[in-house]
Amino acid sequence: MSYLSARGLVRSYGRTPALRGVNLDVEEGEIVAVTGPSGCGKSTLLHCLAGILRPDAGEVTYRGRRIDTLSEGARAALRRTEFGVLFQFGQLVAELTAAENVALPLLLAGTGRREARTAALSWLDRLGVADFADQRPGEMSGGQQQRCAVARALVTEPRVLFCDEPTGALDSLAGEQVLGHLVRLAREQRTTVVLVTHDVQVAAYGDREIMLRDGAADPTGLGTVAAQQ
């Protein structure tokens, strides 16, 4: 049994199918890129794997345990403790400073304020944005905000990090800095990473690429999965 795996995932939005039977296996410590054209179901797959969305059919197992059948509360706890999530943009709380944003998951877990701040500062430092600890997101550039978001995703030392187009809103150099830090830190921590992107350059940061097409895996890359079915 793989560390994280999906079997026959199906999920629709209204009558539009987003996933139609996706199988996928991720091993511990792996960095896996999920690629495909826009609308192929990448984000939906990520959300199902991270326990954010429930699939209509199929199952998701994490370390041998079904997670798609858990209650919303249990999945929220899982996301809070075992998983980290990183989106394209807009995930930082605008009113909180960078350090407070990073400390937030720790505070939610019941860590004391001083301790949480110390941890947050050390993570901001590791991502090279320690100078912005007391700035608000609005006072930082997109790349700095995103590095802050990486710090927040990693501060709880999650076992799996889910990233949805983490550099989609950044220019290539800022994106490279975010990804460089992310991959280096993930390898240091032996964090498993699922990285959803449409960009081949971003996908190249992964150890392995899973191609998705029209809501199903496309292992040959021939791009005619739907046509052949």
Partner 1 sequence: MKPGTLVRLALAGTRSDTVRVALTGLSAGLATLAYLAALTVIVIPTVEDGGGRVSPQYRHALIAEAGLRPGVVVVLVLLTVPVLALAGQCALLGAPSRDRRLSAIRLAGASPGQAIAIAATETGLASVLGTVVGLGAYFGGREFLHRPDADGRLPLPTDVVPPVWWIAAVCVGIPVVAMLFAVLQLRRVAVTPFGVVRRVRTRAPLPWPGALIVVGLIATATVVPLSRQLEGDPEESGALLLVVLLCGLGCATIGVVTGTGWISYRTGWLMHRFGRRPATLLAARRLMADPWSGSRTLAALLACLVFGGGAAGVRSSFATDFEAERLAAQRSDPSGVIIEPRDTDFYFGAFNLVNIAIGVGLVIAAGGLIVALAESIVSRRRAYAALVATGVPRSTLAKAVMWQSLVPAAAGIVVALAVGAALSQSLFGDEVEREGIVLEVPVPVDDLALLGAGAVAAVLAVVGVGLLFLRASTALEELRV
Partner 2 sequence: MSTPHVLLGLLVDGPKHGYDLKRAHDLKLPRAKPVAFGQVYATLGRLVRDGLVVPAGQDRDAGPDRTSYELTEEGRKALKEWIAAVEAPMPHLSSVLLAKVVVALLVGDVNQAREYLAAQRAAHTTRLRELTGVKTDPDASLSDVIAADFGIAHLDADLRWLQTTLDRVADLHREVTTR
* Closest CB 202 distance from partner 2, rounded Å: 9
Q: What separation in angstroms does the CA of 162 have from each of 14, 33, 83, 182?
A: 25, 10, 7, 11
Where b means 16+ CB within 10 Å and e means fewer, 194-216 reads bbbbbeeebbebbeebbbbbbbb
Out of 63, 66, 113, 190, point to the residue binding partner 1 (CB under 8 A). Answer: 113
Q: Are the beta carbons of 16 and 202 closer than 8 angstroms?
A: no
Residue carrying structure tokens 């912005």:
132
The 144-183 contact track toward partner 1, x by CB under 8 A, reads --------xx------------------------------
Segment contacting partner 1 by CB under 8 A, of 34-42, 47-55, 121-129, 182-190: 47-55
Q: What separation in angstroms does the CA of 167 have from each of 160, 191, 212?
A: 18, 19, 19
* Closest CB 124 distance from partner 2, rounded Å: 19
The alpha carbon of residue 128 and the mean position of all alpha carbons in its chain are separated, in whole angstroms, by 20
222 binds partner 1 per the rule CB under 8 A: no
Eight-class DSSP state of 132 = G
SS3 8: strand
Which of the listed partners (partner 2, partner 1, none) does 77 bind, with a CB threshold of 5 to 8 Å by partner kind?
partner 1
Beta strands in the chain (DSSP E): 4-13, 16-26, 31-35, 57-62, 65-66, 83-86, 160-164, 192-197, 208-213, 216-217
Q: Which two tokens stand for residue 106?
A: 């720790």
* Closest CB 8 distance from partner 2, rounded Å: 25
* Closest CB 177 distance from partner 1, rounded Å: 21
Q: Which is closer to partner 1, CB of 100 or CB of 214?
A: 100
204 binds partner 1 per the rule CB under 8 A: no
Which of the listed partners (partner 1, partner 2, none) does 227 bind, with a CB threshold of 5 to 8 Å by partner kind?
partner 2
Q: How many CB atoms lie within 10 A of CB 72?
A: 9
Q: Which is closer to partner 2, CB of 62 or CB of 205?
A: 205
Site for partner 1 in 74-93 (CB under 8 A): 76-81, 83-85, 87, 90-93
73 binds partner 1 per the rule CB under 8 A: yes
Q: Which parts of this chain interact with partner 1 (CB under 8 A)?
A: 13, 43, 47, 50, 52-53, 73, 76-81, 83-85, 87, 90-97, 100, 104-105, 107-108, 113, 136-139, 152-153
